């Protein structure tokens, strides 16, 4: 685990921007779970309550239960967040297909909230576009 939570500012900005997107909050209204994002060896636990990110905890903690985990690397995320990503880097499942990400745990929970999650993760890309 690294000492510097490199992605924390980006994830916090996603949480902040999410609050200003009523359509996403509407879509995520039934989503109250903790999601693990593991970037390289860095762990971030995102706790959602009715579509809002209420808490982001940094650092691996085996006592924190999570519903599903997305594991990827910082370079893949940087490419994912480009305004016009290269083929495969344009979508979460594209990263998985490229072997640059994996999804574990209750994948159906992700699929039931897939549009919410994809648009949430793409917020930095949309900000670049704007």
- Which residues of this chain interact with another protein, rule CB under 8 A? 83-85, 87-88, 90-94, 96-97, 108, 111-112, 114-115, 118
Which CB sits closer to another protein, 56 or 98?
Answer: 98
Determine phi and psi for 45, rounding to 5 degrees: -105, 115
CA 50 to chain centroid:
16
CA–CA dist 100, 123 (Å, integer): 20
Min dist CB 1 to another protein, Å, is 31
Which CB sits closer to another protein, 54 or 104?
Answer: 104
Min dist CB 5 to another protein, Å, is 28
CA–CA dist 92, 74 (Å, integer): 14
The SS3 assignment for 124 reads: helix
Which CB sits closer to another protein, 8 or 108?
Answer: 108
């Amino acid at each position: 685990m690294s000492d510097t939570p490199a992605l924390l500012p980006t994830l916090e900005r996603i949480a902040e921007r999410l609050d200003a997107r009523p359509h996403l909050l509407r879509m995520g209204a039934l989503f109250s779970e903790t999601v693990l994002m593991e970037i390289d060896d860095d762990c971030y636990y995102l706790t959602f309550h009715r579509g809002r990110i209420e808490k982001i905890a940094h650092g691996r903690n085996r006592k924190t239960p999570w519903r599903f985990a997305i594991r990827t690397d910082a370079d893949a995320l940087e490419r994912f967040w480009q305004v016009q990503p290269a083929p495969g880097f344009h979508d979460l499942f594209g990263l998985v297909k490229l072997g640059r990400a994996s999804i574990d745990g209750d994948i159906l929970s992700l699929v039931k909230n897939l549009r919410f999650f994809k648009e949430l993760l793409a917020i930095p890309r949309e900000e670049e576009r704007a």
